[in-house]
Amino acid sequence: MTNLTIDCPSWLHKYIIGKKGAGIQKISADCQLSKVHIGFDGDLIKIDGPPEEAEKAYKVLEQQASELQKATTFVELKVDAKYHKHIIGKGGSTINKIKSESDVTINIPDTDSGVTIILLRVTQLV
């Protein structure tokens, strides 16, 4: 068994995982990774499994993470959680207007402990 890690910002994980896990399932199927476990923890992607299969997964995931980072422009804004409701607006009207006019994705944390708003634009999808 081998353990490998890839540095990848946590906000990019959802693009690698894909809708309903489709991205990870495709990687597992394409690389025939029956005994490899892929986990996402903080700013890391953790890969555990037999050395040969884990290396395959590592190469694919590292390339995908690298390409996403190159193709994505992002800004992290520190905003106190008490202002999130004002940014979102009634029924999401303000944030939806910003998203549509700016062609960006805006991630606002669900918890009061997180105070980071991430604005990102994917210039090209991999």
Identify whether the C-beta of residue 28 lies closer than 8 Å to the C-beta of residue 10.
Answer: no
The range of the structural domain enclosing residue 95 comes to 73-122
pTM of the model: 0.69
List the CATH number of the domain containing 84: 3.30.1370.10
Same domain flag for 15 and 39? yes
39 forms bridges with which residues in the sheet? 46
DSSP lists the bridge partners of residue 82 as none
Phi first, then psi: give them for residue 27, nearest 5 degrees: -60, -45
Domain count, the chain: 2
For residues 25 and 47, what is the distance between their CA atoms, to the nearest angstrom?
Answer: 14
Q: What's the confidence (pLDDT) of residue 126?
A: 44
pLDDT, block means (10 residues), the chain with 126 residues: 91 88 86 84 91 91 90 77 84 88 74 58 54
Do 13 and 44 share a structural domain? yes
Could you tell me if 61 and 111 lie in one domain? no
Residues 13 and 64 in one domain: yes
What is the reported pLDDT for 62? Answer: 95
Token pair for 53: 């299969």
CA within 13 Å, CB half, 12: 24
pLDDT of res. 116: 59
